Structure 1
């Protein structure tokens, strides 16, 4: 079985971070940040992927990142 790692550099050092972003229209005008995501990023090369926080489960996000 092939070992999994970052799709860009092969590193196995990944971290997660939660971020919120504005949408478009009125939410942008009033700076309402209701779009919440979990970002998984490689500590080695910086490659990042965003996952919708509402549809992601915390325990397998790293597994999604590594494929």
Structure 2
């Protein structure tokens, strides 16, 4: 992946992942059905989030492991 920080033009970064709930039923059953990939600039720690697709299998796995 080629990434350049929009704030400082640095090209070193870290990639992470975050999951979140997306509605009442998701919150009740504690299922994180929204997935985001984060890219963080190593120089200034500026972070951007990008929405990622989640599959039904990962949602079922989350339900039984929480």
Q: Which category describes the TM-score, using the shorter chain as reference length?
A: 0.5 to 0.7
Give TM-score, length-normalised by structure 2: 0.61
Give TM-score, length-normalised by structure 1: 0.61
Q: CA-to-partner distance for each residue in 1:3-52, whole Å, 9 max, x for gaps?
A: x7311122111121122111121112222101111111111111111112
What is the RMSD computed on CA atoms of the aligned residues?
1.7
Give the number of the structure with larger relative contact order, counting CA–CA contacts within 8 Å between residues 6 or more apart. 1
Residues paired across the two proteins, number:
51
Unaligned runs of 5+ in 2: 54-66
